[in-house]
Structure 1
Amino acid sequence: MTAWIDGRAVARDEAVAAAATLLAGARSPVFAGLCAEAASVQAAFDLARAIGASLDPASGPSLYADLGALASGGAMTTTPAETRGRADMVLALGAAPWATDLLGEVTADRPVRGRASGKPRALLALGAPGDGAVQHVAYPAGEAGLAAAIGLLRGLVAGRIAGPHPLADLATRLREALYGVILYDPAEIGALGAEMLNGLVKDLNETTRCFALPLGDPHQGRAVAQIAAWSTGQGPRVGFGRGYPEHDPWRFDAGRQAEAGEADAALWLAALPAPLPSWTRIVPTVALLGAPKGDEAQVVIGVGVPGEAFGAALWHPRRAAIAWHEAGAPQPEPVAAAAILADLQARLSSTTTNSERSASC
């Protein structure tokens, strides 16, 4: 079985009908998670628009640490491919970059394009000891934390802080780099750190070339941000309660809505792995899951895992873009979350039409 209602295994069609009933009776539904392929995320936006729901991706905290800084002052960013091809200096902020393969890749060879072509590549670390197997120079962040260290570094680079300082050597290295790249995880450095980092990069570009490279989160957040942009012209935390998209990162935070009693139904979309938040236990929830157990929510519907059961458009970290992923373990007739969402939209549209006809009679 691939569908459950209150932990009881049922046919998928029965579960979809129960999900449609739950959502149809809601005054303020919220769609969350959004950890799926592009087609299913787009289908979630379409369904939310149709029934007046709000949306909040699982990657919201990470995305909005970056989006807030981007909205206030812009950003100068690059891609992993450009980093490997051009950077003569890479600075890793915090611990998160060391959990990726990128740092090992950039230290394996030298830049091959641009002014730094053929020159040695320096790998630096701020706020984490790094990996002893990869040669690098580490600098401490200090007791104030990583965001404060980035702010201090910006002051040193711009000459606003004089005298000896533990980060003075790092500031000099940044100024002298021909093509510097600063690798970071928005969730780790936070909104303040992202704001300081974007300012640092802009200051460095007054005299040299330097770019920021944010790490993608594991929940398709970068893809969701793009889909939200082309669907609504805004960020992913939007609500359609008044018939048009309204963007408000605080108001449409799913966890806040649940705790405040504002959300009376939820749809959790996680065709790819994403931890189910605790608030789904207090809000009647429909869960579309790639690897369900059956007891995760009031209504659970199993869906195919994109990039495994079927080919799909997913975020590609190396390309820093949405790209096609072939099926790793194709299934004969996988049911994509997009198909379930389209079915829900058809059922809910039919319910609305019938209600309107009854009212007119």
Structure 2
Amino acid sequence: MPAWVKGAATDIDAAIAAAADLLGAARMPVIAGLNAEVSAIRAAFDLAGRVGASLDTDGAAGTYAELGALARVGAMTSTPAEAVGRADAVLVLGSEPAKSELLGRIEAGAPTRGRAAGAARAILALDGANEGGVLPALARLRAHFRGHLADESPTAVLASKLAAAQYVVVLYDPAEIGEMGVETVQGLVTDLNDRTRAFSLAVSGGHRNQDRAVVPVSAWTTGQAPRVGLGRKVPEHDPWRFDAARQVAAGEADAALWLSSLPAPRPDWLGQVPSVALVGEASPDAAEVVIAVGVPGRDVGGVLWNETRGALTYWPAQAGGSAPADRPTAASVLGRLTNRLAARSGTAC
């Protein structure tokens, strides 16, 4: 199975030993990415408790934009199935939701359930290209809808179309529009519900979708959202303090483990500290210690976020994929690493 230490090919046992040396010598390691199946995410939290690491996710910008707005103003949300089955008007905010698989499913049909069944479906867009960005455009749309602005602009026409719809779904990417944008979306949805039915639905691009699996795992493991530190043996939640990029830039972190069994771009900061990479698409120069692991849903089975269902779903290995013996699961590698560190300290995990 592919593994490298400082660019030289080696076996899995030697790579795990080198990773244990690297993490065991660190005073403030970080475990980041967490683009992985649920079992690997759980194993990463176990390892963090062993080495006193903090944790951060690849999609944290979008996750915290949603969580911050949810804590202050709440949310009225729908599910992908409801959007496909009921919406006769879909408002696409910004550029990222237009790339989602969900929008393709919505565009392919018309509502089949509820009071909008059989009606034509309108796909409406608000990208903010001519209005200084999505957030100003969204604020202007809300002002038109509430009667605070009156003209015959395209935004006014859009507000009228939304008011005439029977079931509106607003698609947005929280990482693209930010925390204030998410709050404004929820305000718009509240306004729309004074006249019709309306809901929001967040969609995240590509590998960032897996953050939706990390949030519940973190909650049931630590009682906190994902950016937590375990350096003092109890979970401490702080979105600013445990931002991995900030920690490395400030010199606070002295080692890192990047977990990405699902293919995802590696961050620039990873090369600035001694690092270990557990990756589904491996290259010898990805980190000081690199271990290739099975890609969930392709090489090995695993529980992943299912955007189509809006839920966690088990994905089996594909026929013809690498056998687990050839590509170990990320969870098994993390478990062996945790046990090795526990054996060194002479205490049970």
Q: Same fold (TM over 0.5)?
A: yes
Percent of aligned pairs with the same amino acid: 53
Alignment of 1:131-210 (within 5 A): 141-210=129-198
Q: Which residue of 1 aligns with 2:105?
A: 105
Q: Which residue of 2 aligns with 1:84?
A: 84
Between 159-168 and 38-47, the greater mean CA deviation after superposition: 159-168
Query: Is 2:273 aligned against 1:280?
Result: no
Query: Is 2:311 aligned against 1:321?
Result: yes
- How far apart, in 2, do the equivalents of 1:163 and 1:99 lie? 31
**Secondary structure, counterpart of 1:111 in structure 2:** coil
Between 44-53 and 29-38, the greater mean CA deviation after superposition: 44-53
CA contact (8 A) 2:131 2:137 kept: no
Shift of 1:27: 1.2
Shift of 1:8: 1.0
Q: Which residue of 2 aligns with 1:3?
A: 3
**Secondary structure, counterpart of 1:34 in structure 2:** coil
Deviations for 1:27-74, whole angstroms, at most 9, x for unmatched residues? 111000111111101110121122211111111122222222112211
**Secondary structure, counterpart of 2:206 in structure 1:** coil
CA-based RMSD of the aligned residues comes to: 1.7
CA contact (8 A) 2:94 2:172 kept: yes
**Secondary structure, counterpart of 1:159 in structure 2:** coil
Alignment of 1:234-245 (within 5 A): 234-245=224-235
Q: Which residue of 1 aligns with 2:29?
A: 29
Shift of 1:141: 4.7
- How far apart, in 2, do the equivalents of 1:273 and 1:105 lie? 24
Deviations for 1:207-245, whole angstroms, at most 9, x for unmatched residues? 321111111332211111221122222211111112111
CA contact (8 A) 1:59 1:217 kept: no
Q: Which residue of 1 aligns with 2:199?
A: 211
Question: When the two structures are superposed, what TM-score results if normalisation uses the length of structure 2?
Answer: 0.94
- How far apart, in 2, do the equivalents of 1:330 and 1:283 lie? 33
Q: Which residue of 2 aligns with 1:261?
A: 251
Query: Is 2:17 aligned against 1:17?
Result: yes
Alignment of 1:30-49 (within 5 A): 30-49=30-49
Tell me which amino acid in the other structure corresponds to 1:168: A
Q: Which residue of 2 aligns with 1:137?
A: none
- How far apart, in 2, do the equivalents of 1:157 and 1:143 lie? 17
Structure 2 unaligned segments of length 5 or more: list them: none
Query: Is 2:56 aligned against 1:68?
Result: no
Q: Which residue of 2 aligns with 1:344?
A: 337
- How far apart, in 1, do the equivalents of 2:131 and 2:163 lie? 25
- How far apart, in 1, do the equivalents of 2:106 and 2:265 lie? 31
- How far apart, in 2, do the equivalents of 1:158 and 1:294 lie? 57
Aligned length: 343
Q: Which structure 1 residue ranges, 4+ long, deviate > 3 Å from structure 2?
A: 162-166
Question: When the two structures are superposed, what TM-score results if normalisation uses the length of structure 1?
Answer: 0.91
Aligned partner of 2:282 among 286, 292, 302: 292
Shift of 1:100: 2.3
Tell me which amino acid in the other structure corresponds to 2:312: I
- How far apart, in 1, do the equivalents of 2:255 and 2:308 lie? 37
- How far apart, in 2, do the equivalents of 1:289 and 1:266 lie? 14
Alpha carbons of structure 1 residues 82 and 295: separation in structure 2 relative to 1, 3 Å: same
Q: Which residue of 2 aligns with 1:302?
A: 292
